[in-house]
Structure 1
Amino acid sequence: MGKLTASVLMLMLAPGLAWAQAATSTAKPSIYTCTTADGRRLTSDRPISDCSAVEQRVLNADGSLRSVLPAAMSPEQRAANEARERKLAAERLAQLDAVRRDRNLMMRYPDEAAHQRARASSLDDANKARLISERRVKDLALERKPLMDEAEFYKGKPLPAKLKQQMDANDAAVDAQKQLIENQKAELVRIGSRYDLELQRLKRLWAGAAPGSLGNSSNGPADAAASAPR
């Protein structure tokens, strides 16, 4: 069990532990006093069950206050407390993750020049893929020319099955490449936007903003790469 999880569990169990410790402690005589919901003032040498729903004062033999025994939580209160502690634990984990991401981002990009080199490299890779697809479209056009020439002999007649199959396959390949090119163009835009947002964050971190203080740092693959150990 991680340290954080163990701490949360201890917080959730704290009221119950306080009652258990109070009930079993025999180190020093104690005086328990409380006022019930109906106004009765009760005193005992052990935790008072009739006052489990209210706070009890634990006094020393001379009447001075030793501690305060909190009211035992109802099932509803306990469930609400557990939910609150889980929420706080999740928020603490998210904050730790944000700090880690920002620190890794600054390690990966110590200055703007390093970030610009990474941007150029990512854009270059995407552009190369787009150019390959565009060349493939041109190659497919060249492959289609002899098919069209052959189809001229069958003008007004059904095409032979093999020729029709070849032309259909060529059409499908061209459509696939054109769709791929559109996706690659969109990827170029996405990469540019991703690095723009990342640079805005880095400029604030370089200027002295504390890691984890800038809100959500998740920008997709760029952050994943920045978060990876180097």
Structure 2
Amino acid sequence: MNPARSLTSFLPSAQRLGVCALAASALWGATAGAQTQGIYTCVDSKGRRITSDRPIVECLDREQHKLGNTGIVRQVVPPSYTADERAKLENKQRAENEIKARAAEEKRRERALLIRYPNQAVHDKERAEALAQIDDVIAAVNKRETALVQQRKEVDAEMEFYQSDPSKAPFWLRRKLEDSEKQMVVQKRFLEEQAQEKLRINQRFDEELGKLRQLWSPSTAANNAATLKR
């Protein structure tokens, strides 16, 4: 005789239904728990296939597959690493991510370069404009240099009276001579900087042109060559 059945037989019908529902729910929960537990499987370092209802110690250094009741892989459990091993793995992953990020950034720059310079004519025009701006600055500085040279001649003419002993020259005249020398030095340094800037501009455009020639399509390259021959 079923004890549960004999027990419920003495209960009112409503209570019997409640007990039965509770028992069914408990049974379903136990069954579901068994279904979600799964089976772990792996091949150890000796080539043996091992299965277990829990993570396998022999395979902590390698991936383990967690199978469902139908035998389908539901989860891939990664290897368990020591702190040192995990740090090395993270460093390796970080380095790989940095390489990928640099490659992606390089691709982005290449796309931006192609958008900005669809052909060599556009690139040559921008180079010429950049150099022209520097030339305008140099021309203005040269005009200033002409004025400084004239000013220096005037100072030298006034200092001729004190050639034998320049220390006897008036303070304002010695100060004027000193200022003239400083301005000439600044002028020379500035012109040298502008010359270096022109070199940097040409270097930058040369590097871009080398990259663009690799990126331009064959038809664009052909058009560039035809334009240069004109």
CA distance in 1, matches of 2:173, 2:208: 52
Structure 2 match to 1:141:
149
Aligned AA (2:100): R
CA distance in 2, matches of 1:78, 1:49: 18
Find out whether 1:187 has 2:202 as its counterpart.
no
The verdict on how the C-alpha distance between 1:59 and 1:104 changes in structure 2, with shifts beyond 3 A counting, is closer
Structure 1 match to 2:176:
166
Aligned AA (1:133): V
CA distance in 2, matches of 1:192, 1:42: 67
CA distance in 2, matches of 1:170, 1:37: 85
Which of 190, 210, 213 matches 1:203? 213
How big is the shift at 1:131? Answer: 1.6
CA distance in 1, matches of 2:117, 2:49: 67
Root-mean-square deviation (Å): 3.0
Find out whether 1:176 has 2:186 as its counterpart.
yes
Structure 1 match to 2:158:
150
Aligned AA (1:201): K
Kept after mapping to 2: 8 A contact 1:34/1:43: yes
- SS at 1:32's partner residue? strand
CA distance in 2, matches of 1:206, 1:42: 57
Count how many residue pairs are aligned between Structure 1 and Structure 2: 183
- Which range moves more in the overlay, 35-44 or 88-97? 35-44
The verdict on how the C-alpha distance between 1:94 and 1:163 changes in structure 2, with shifts beyond 3 A counting, is same
Find out whether 1:119 has 2:127 as its counterpart.
yes
How big is the shift at 1:121? Answer: 0.2
Q: TM-score, normalising length from structure 1?
A: 0.68
CA distance in 2, matches of 1:47, 1:139: 88
Aligned AA (2:191): I
How big is the shift at 1:31? Answer: 3.3
Structure 2 spans left out of the alignment, 5+ residues? 1-32, 219-230
Structure 1 spans left out of the alignment, 5+ residues? 1-24, 209-230
> Greater CA radius of gyration, 1 or 2?
2
Kept after mapping to 2: 8 A contact 1:126/1:188: yes
Q: TM-score, normalising length from structure 2?
A: 0.68
